[in-house]
Amino acid sequence: MYLIDYHIHSNNSFDSKETVSAVCEAAIEKGINEICFTEHFSVKEGIKSYGFLNLKKYSDEIKECKEIFKDKLTIRAGIEICEPHENEEELKLILENIPFDFILGSVHNFDYNIGLATYMSSHSKEESYSRYFEEVNKVCTSPYIDIVAHLDLMKRYAFNTHGNYDFNEYREKIEEVLKNIINAGKGIEVNTSTLRGMVNETMPSIDILKMYYDLGGEIITVGSDAHKAEDVGADIRESIEVLKNIGFKNIYRFKNRQAIPVEI
Ligand SMILES: [Zn+2]
Ligand SMILES: [Zn+2]
């Protein structure tokens, strides 16, 4: 099985201290064939990721590691953009000039800079989840993304106080999001980071993965969302098995923002 991990942060992200080379070494050790770095990136002034990513440092490190590990590991360079629908003009100008392989689109904030945890702490369970899926629906057709990251992320923040959500209560909202993703030629990911904590299921849940498959969705990646080398590749094999059991024939990798199927 060709193993990929398409959601990884290094110290090019504000919330990781791991070096690019340590991530590569960990991936090789764990038998991963291909990784993609997805560093936090934002053009929204005032939020944590704004102005952090040093593109010269990042591309130099990628280039160097591609050379060092060329016989053992395929390395791609990507970013994770939050709320790309809010700054389309600025993003267009920046992204035109940088040849990223892959771009994840995320909802990490509401109303420009209110973090999900902050919002959730002063809103009901219903308000928090409804609002979250409405915001994802705005992000999912952005031309500046390839894959919608961690599609039901709100549960990571809401789990302790509000609990997990009931898929059937949000079925219509979720279906709308998935149809829009498919029609826009975008995809979703299986993010395994919530298997390493209290929530104990992937993002999105198996219900959403099945719905995506039933609606005809094909483009899907798998990623650990590792911020430390030890988490690189976590639960990737198991997630591919889950996708296989649902009926998916391929997962996808990307080069120059083109989706390439990998048979599973
Ligand atoms: Zn994220
Ligand atoms: Zn991430």
* Distance of alpha carbon 224 from alpha carbon 209, whole angstroms: 16
* Distance of alpha carbon 229 from alpha carbon 146, whole angstroms: 25
- Does 256 have pLDDT greater than 90? yes
- Given the structure tokens 């990721």, which residue do they identify? 49
Average of pLDDT values for 218-224? 98
pLDDT, tens digit, 9 for 90 and up, residues 222-244: 999 999 999 999 999 999 999 99
pLDDT score recorded for residue 10 = 98
* Distance of alpha carbon 145 from alpha carbon 132, whole angstroms: 18
pLDDT score recorded for residue 73 = 98
**Alpha carbon of 260 to ligand 2 centroid (Å):** 21
* Distance of alpha carbon 110 from alpha carbon 107, whole angstroms: 8
Residues 14, 41 contacting (CB under 8 angstroms): no
Percent of the chain topping pLDDT 90: 97
**Alpha carbon of 262 to ligand 2 centroid (Å):** 22
pLDDT, tens digit, 9 for 90 and up, residues 103-161: 999 999 999 999 999 999 999 999 999 999 999 999 999 999 999 999 999 999 999 99
Residues with CB under 5 A from ligand 1 (ion): 106
| Exposed / middle / buried, residue 198 (Cβ in 10 Å: 0-12, 13-18, 19+) | exposed
Q: In 10 A of CB 117, how many CB atoms?
A: 15
Q: In the chain, what are the domain boundaries? A: 4-263
Q: In 10 A of CB 229, how many CB atoms?
A: 21
pLDDT, tens digit, 9 for 90 and up, residues 2-32: 999 999 999 999 999 999 999 999 999 999 9
**Alpha carbon of 204 to ligand 2 centroid (Å):** 14
**Alpha carbon of 11 to ligand 2 centroid (Å):** 12
- Given the structure tokens 């940088």, which residue do they identify? 98
**Alpha carbon of 71 to ligand 1 centroid (Å):** 30
Q: What are phi and psi of 258, to 5 degrees?
A: -105, 130
CATH of span 4-263: 3.20.20.140
**Alpha carbon of 8 to ligand 1 centroid (Å):** 10
pLDDT score recorded for residue 97 = 87
Secondary structure class of 129 (helix, strand, coil): helix
Partners of residue 253 on adjacent β-strands: 260
What's the mean per-residue pLDDT of the chain?
97
pLDDT, tens digit, 9 for 90 and up, residues 50-100: 999 999 999 999 999 999 999 999 999 999 999 999 989 999 999 988 899
Q: What are phi and psi of 104, to 5 degrees?
A: -90, 140
Which DSSP letter does residue 85 get?
G
Average of pLDDT values for 212-229? 98
Cα–Cα separations (whole angstroms), residue 75 to 21, 72, 195, 246 = 11, 10, 24, 28
Point out the ligand nearest to the CA of residue 16.
Answer: 2
